Amino acid sequence: MAMRTVVESGDVSAKIDAESTVYPRMHEAFDALTWWLSRNPDTGELIDDYYWLYKQRGNRELNIPSLVVVYTFDHNSVEIVSLLVRLPSL
């Protein structure tokens, strides 16, 4: 299994920093997401000819947010272009 470099847009980085005030484990949740996508980028859902969508479950009890990302990838890298941070469902 090849590991790809994960790159995030500046908007994504800013959202992670902003949401970490609400979700103290935001960085951990995003690190888990990037770890997964660097190894398994094709496990998301292809939404058009180029972009993929991936949803990561959160945990309301532990105050870990659900994350939804839009991304692209090739043999060398994954580029996260958008991030939605959601309160986990019950």
Between CA 7 and CA 69, with CA 43 as vertex, the angle to 5 degrees is 45
Q: What is the pLDDT of residue 8?
A: 96
pTM of the model: 0.92
**Helix, strand, coil tally for the chain in percent (to 5):** 30, 35, 35
Q: What is the pLDDT of residue 18?
A: 96
pLDDT, tens only, 3-56: 999 999 999 999 999 999 999 999 999 999 999 999 999 999 999 999 999 999
Residue 74's pLDDT band (boundaries 50, 70, 90)?
very high
The Cα 81–Cα 89 span in angstroms is 24
Topology at the third CATH level for domain 5-86: YaeB-like fold (3.30.2310)
- Asked if the model's pLDDT at residue 1 lies above 80, the reply is no
If you ran DSSP here, which 8-state letter would residue 59 be given?
A: B
* Chain mean position to CA 61: 20
